Amino acid sequence: MSLLFPALFQAATDDSATVRRPALRFGTHALSHGELAVAARRFAARVREAADGGRVAVWATPVLETAVGVVAALEAGLAVVPLNPRSGKAELEHILADSAPRLLLAAPGEELPRAVRQLRRLDVTIDTGIRTGTDTGTDAGIDLGGDLGGGETVPALDEPNPESPAFVVYTSGTTGPPKGAVIPRRAVAATLDALADAWQWTADDVLVHGLPLFHVHGLILGVLGPLRRGGAVRHLGRFSTEGVARELNSGATMLFGVPTMYHRIAEALPGDPELVRALAGARLLVSGSAALPVHDHERIAAATGRRVVERYGMTETLMNTAVRADGEAGPGTVGLPLPGVELRLVEEDGTPIAAYDGETVGEIQVRGPNLFTGYLHRPDATAGAFTADGWFRTGDMAVRDPDGYVRIVGRKATDLIKSGGYKIGAGEIENALLEHPGVSEAAVTGEPDADLGERVVAWVVATDPASPPAPEALAAHVAERLAPHKRPRVVHYLDALPRNDMGKLLKRALRTP
């Protein structure tokens, strides 16, 4: 029998070595696999009762309770809706109305905004079954039959159908509010096992990262990944190059980050010998969520002798390709399709491209067990996302090299912005800006940014051109409604937006001089 529920955490078997191994560490708060199994199973029973089969929202601050709450809800067989604790009012209200969670899990003491206060709240309690004053130390507390010493039993819950939803993760489109991607348990298991194969990821690995826990990258790959392997994750709470150096120099073996984090590492390396030593000694450095600039890749390689490997995925598809641990990690390549993933490039009209010439550009389409099942309450959007024969249209444009390596060269939609690794739809920001009384017209574009990859730029026609709203006021307006990472970093004021004879907005004409 497995330590946690079998299908998602199969690798964490119940041998006594795994039981004692570290599983999760957030600052000074840590749990071994055995402690996590007991705490999650105990809490799962409470979650299951309170949620009554409904979805479970998790207030995803970067703390141990978030990880335990997610594991417990999954063990209870329920779908988790991770919430960005910095979501603004409008975004939060939309997500809650759309996903209708029965319950909200949060760390004790966490102050919640008004929008979530109407939900039933359950504080995540971490009860590892280890009682002081008894001699039933860690081992005795973790009898996997469920006997926790003192005769108390915590039975494992039945493993749900692999097609049942594990997560509903909200992701931006070009227009309208974010859509909830329904990710089944089967996809989580498939993607984590494919990555394990690609990266020789084992129970001996200790991952470090400072990614947010309300997206696929930080939560599914960065927390469930190590747990499924029976290994460990140390979360930094908040990304810093000091934190990365400290953990990699004290036992961590792998680093996950978005390109902005690697950019900040590349900037810091010249003056930080501890950081150089840390990266040079790591087993694997992985970048994802956006393209890693060649310049940063090369600067890190030159300073540390290590090449960052990239993997390519999406909320809807989880992971599609990766540079393998034993593969050739060059700048600008996201590697080979993962085991089980079918990948093709197609022309504008849908014709598959046969060439592996490093030149012919096509849209990436994928099929495989890693895919989501659809957007919640959006059959129209789900249907539009797939071809008639079941390929998912990623909207990412790429070429394939003769050795099969995929290189992403761009994106189909200019109205999708990737900033700091977050996907941001221009439309949702335009709508938020238009709700400001000082804005009569608004357009949003993404522009290259050395740190963020792209920065959000707003083009605004003021209601009163004589006294337009200040850029900071517009940034705060968007941050409060949506989320701080969606706020415009630059605001340009125009007398009119450029339009063609039909009145259609010409976004391509909007470029910072």
List of residues contacting ligand AMP (CB under 6 A): 171, 216, 288-291, 310-315, 334, 394, 396, 408, 411, 418, 423
C-alpha to C-alpha distance for 376 and 168, rounded to whole angstroms: 8
How many Cβ atoms sit within 10 Å of the Cβ of residue 153? 11
Q: For residue 289, state whether it binds ligand MCA (rule: CB under 6 A).
A: yes
- For the bound state, the minimum distance from the C-beta of residue 341 to ligand MCA, rounded and expressed in Å, comes to 14
DSSP state of 143: -
Contact region with ligand MCA (CB under 6 A), list: 184-192, 200-208, 211-219, 240-248: 211-219
DSSP state of 218: I
- Contact, 67 vs 213, CB < 8 A? yes
Q: Please give the helix or strand (H or E) that residue 398 lies within, else none.
A: strand 392-400
Contact region with ligand MCA (CB under 6 A), list: 279-287, 369-377, 459-467, 480-488: 480-488
Q: Which is nearer to ligand MCA, 72 or 408 (CB)?
A: 408
Contact region with ligand MCA (CB under 6 A), list: 152-160, 216-224, 301-309, 501-509: 216-224
- For the bound state, the minimum distance from the C-beta of residue 170 to ligand MCA, rounded and expressed in Å, comes to 11
Q: Which is nearer to ligand AMP, 160 or 313 (CB)?
A: 313
Q: For residue 475, state whether it binds ligand MCA (rule: CB under 6 A).
A: yes
- Contact, 458 vs 428, CB < 8 A? no
Q: Which is nearer to ligand MCA, 105 or 291 (CB)?
A: 291
C-alpha to C-alpha distance for 149 and 221, rounded to whole angstroms: 33
- For the bound state, the minimum distance from the C-beta of residue 253 to ligand MCA, rounded and expressed in Å, comes to 20
Closest residue to ligand AMP, based on beta-carbon distance? 423
Residue 439 binds which entry of ligand AMP, ligand MCA, none, CB below 5-8 Å type-dependent? none
DSSP reduced 3-state for 185 = helix
Give Cβ neighbours of residue 363 (< 8 Å, ≥ 6 apart): 345, 346, 348, 393, 394, 395, 396, 397, 398, 412
C-alpha to C-alpha distance for 237 and 28, rounded to whole angstroms: 11
Contact region with ligand MCA (CB under 6 A), list: 339-347, 385-393, 405-413, 415-423: 415-423
Q: Which is nearer to ligand MCA, 2 or 87 (CB)?
A: 87
- Contact, 275 vs 245, CB < 8 A? yes
Secondary structure, 3-state, 116-152: HHCCCEEECCCCCCCCCCCCCCCCHHHCCCCECCCCC
Answer for which of 252, 279, 309, 314 binds ligand MCA (CB under 6 A) is: 314
DSSP state of 10: T
Answer for which of 7, 45, 301, 476 binds ligand MCA (CB under 6 A) is: 476
- For the bound state, the minimum distance from the C-beta of residue 259 to ligand MCA, rounded and expressed in Å, comes to 8
